[in-house]
Structure 1
Amino acid sequence: MNPLLIEASRNILKTSIGLAPGETLLVVSDRQKQDIAEAICQAGLGLGAEAMLVVMKERQKDGEEPPGAVAAAMEQADVVICVTEYSLTHTNARKNAAAKGARIATMPGITADMFTEGAITADYGQVKARTEKVSQYLTNGREVRIEKDGRTLRFSIADRAGIASTGVYLNPGESGNLPSGEAYLAPVEGTAFGEIVVDGSIAGIGKVSEPLIVTVEKGRIVGAQGAEAAQLLELLGEGDGLALGEFGIGTNDKARVTGNVLEDEKVYGTIHVAFGSNRTFGGSIDAGVHIDLVVHQPDVYIDGISILQKGRLTV
């Protein structure tokens, strides 16, 4: 087993999760990510935790629920680390386990490289402060306007709470991605109109080969143009996967755009929108799929006030 992975895992469990001796640690994985999961489990044992590893069959897409037995085990653990190819972040299993008091870190698509380079190496004290500040602007806002390359997308965020994914989950019920660094929320369903230019990456696809133009009416995708358009629409399906479910702002200055959305959506200078499920973080969409789309250096306005200019915070 790679000693560098074990040491990096030990640092993550201590600084981001605060794993204590005697706590129950459940590592949820699949066959593609089993090596990394085993290193995390080994690190947990070394810290004195009651560490367990469960390996399930790979899910087919982000947001797909794990098996019922895995979901039940998550609810019984003090700490849950999800090291999987596809994301369990926006699942009822994650939400229910957090409600039971578990501290949860989800690592969809994590690679060994990401354990030692990029977003995971950030000063998470700085990331936390920046993320909480941006999250408060989202909570206080009522309307978002995104502008890029002559295209505009608008939607309401009235009465929706911003969420700070800081990478630090020390209290019961706290959860989020690792590596992390984003402030996000669920836009008001049915309010989005306009177009957005996606020139970063797409969850489940990777970096886009050319800018993708997504057209939205009444909160749902009605058209997409670009090399990856057909693949995106196939992932989302014909139901509520087409509904705008998330808006987020990256806040991690060490994150890189690699084609892996786990890291890409955290990059300072990017925003992301996602289509599909948002019921686990304040919305009403339960689509069984959640696909993030990353945008480089947009202009963003909240209630007409500039928040980002070419991706840089102006507040």
Structure 2
Amino acid sequence: MEASQTRRAVQTARATASSLGLQAEDAVVVSDSDRIAVRLLPCDVLVRVAPAAHRAASEFEVEVARRLTAVDGPVAELDPRAEPRVHLRDHFALSFWTYYEPVGSEIAPAHYADALTRHHAALRQVDLGAPHVTERVAGALREVGDRERTPALPGPDRELLSDALGGLSAAISGAEAGEQLLHGEPHPGNLLATRRGPLFVDLATCCRGPVEFDLAHAPEEVVEHYPGADHDLVQRCRVLVWALFATWRWRRDDRFPDRRHWRAEGLDRVRAALDRC
């Protein structure tokens, strides 16, 4: 978010928490991109604040969390002191989550794989409509094909991303792999090390596809510990994951931190992943 919007979002989080009877004398921004996560004290709650235009995504995330918590999935839970819904206030959509104090800095590959295995098992127990991963790819292809939406993307790199997205999407959708609900982006930044064990966050990216698409977001060592993974499919999915990431960074209205660096890094990762395939 822009600095002024972030300040307003924090103020709105505090005001909304106070209206719910939660003490919010201090606020610490934990993350800031297209939405913010802010920790309020002394009530110690984590509030995710998004522009009201993103209300549907916030509501979807809350519903995913509710359903996975009910089947004991390894996910961050909504804060029980607030209604399990999205609160609308001052042009923002807010959801209230349990704050987990971090424990350590890294999660061992075997523990990471175990958490993802249990997460996938929990996802198989819920009946939830979610887009297929190829729909996400189709959205990225529209961005790459629209020079007004990605004006700074050089021609050769535009062709690289178009070929990677189109070719790999077709290969994955045609693969003989079981499909199910997925986290969608279970990279290390979305897996918290807590006293309860590893917990996944940022559930709005839930989609449908092969588990290998989720595995492609995790460190390579994790795949070795995940039972039954198709390693060739994981490598193809890594190309797709980095092509998606790079595409989002080249959007005209992208607000990802250090975007210039990640534009170049994303393209380099696509080329490296293609080489490995």
TM-score scaled to structure 2, two decimals? 0.29
More strand by share: 1
More helix by share: 2
TM-score scaled to structure 1, two decimals? 0.26
